[in-house]
Amino acid sequence: MLDGLEAEKCYLAWEIDLVTARSESHLKEIFAFVEEGSELRLQVAELDEALVLRNPATFPPLSLRDFFEESQEHLVGMEESLLALETSRDSRDLVNAMFRCLHNLKGNAGVLLSEKVRPLSPRHPLLYIQRVGHATESIVDQLRSAEVILLNDEQVELLFASFDLLKRQVAAFFQERIEPVTDEGFLLKLGLKAETFAEAIAAPKAAATATRPG
């Protein structure tokens, strides 16, 4: 059946869908394995942000239910610890309680992210919950590791700001909306940059076509 095919018209094609914030030049480096004389075509497709904000279309229902219930518990625990720390700034027990709530909230967000069935936009609330939670957890871990604990005004203010952001992002997540984070100064205090959240700016579609003699 192949006898009538002309060699110059025979080709193999691979179509690979990628979700990435990388540049086209970086993608071309990734596909360096494509043989000489072959063609690499990149097509960028815009991500449907409205679609991925619809939680039932993006995450397993049971996981969503568990995250909702547990996130509320962790937020309540964080708020109680923070309010108590305002007057008991040397309490290791309160700092440890704050750490546990942050660790669990961040960890649960990470688990849910691992179960997503669609790519997320860089502004998705769950990304902020996971990454701001992780950054704040690291700060609290440093505090609780100190030989003597005594929080100053700046540290307490930063922790309250982190809690407020996490609370707003959890609410935005379950209300299926975007809650913009515009205070880059706050992110820098946490050791973060705005571009940290660029998990998926667009979904480039790369098609590599190799032409070989038949």
DSSP characters for the chain?
--TT--GGG-EEEEEEE--B---HHHHHHHTTTSPTT-EEEEEEE---HHHHTSHHHHS-HHHHHHHHHHHHHHHHHHHHHHHHHTT-TT-HHHHHHHHHHHHHHHHHHHHHHHT-SS---TT-HHHHHHHHHHHHHHHHHHHHHSSS----HHHHHHHHHHHHHHHHHHHHHHTT-------HHHHHHTT--GGGG-S-SBEEEEEEEEE---
pLDDT tens profile 32-41: 666 566 666 7
pLDDT of residue 23: 63
pLDDT of residue 45: 61
Q: Name, of 94-98, 147-151, 192-196, 199-203, the range with top average pLDDT.
A: 94-98
Cα–Cα distance, 165 to 179 (Å, whole number): 9
pLDDT of residue 141: 94
pLDDT of residue 211: 36
Cβ distance 127 to 113 under 8 Å?
yes
pLDDT tens profile 44-75: 666 666 666 788 888 999 999 999 999 999 99
What percent of the chain is modeled with pLDDT above 90?
A: 51
Q: Answer yes or no: is pLDDT of 208 > 50.
A: no
Q: Name, of 10-14, 93-97, 122-126, the range with top average pLDDT.
A: 93-97
Q: Answer yes or no: is pLDDT of 89 > 90.
A: yes
Q: Answer yes or no: is pLDDT of 7 > 90.
A: no
Q: Answer yes or no: is pLDDT of 136 > 50.
A: yes
Q: Does the predicted TM-score (pTM) go above 0.85?
A: no
Mean pLDDT of 11-27: 62
**One CATH from 3.90.1150.10, 3.30.420.40, 3.40.50.300, 1.20.120.160 for 50-197:** 1.20.120.160
pLDDT tens profile 141-159: 999 999 999 999 999 999 9
Average pLDDT of the chain, as a whole number: 79
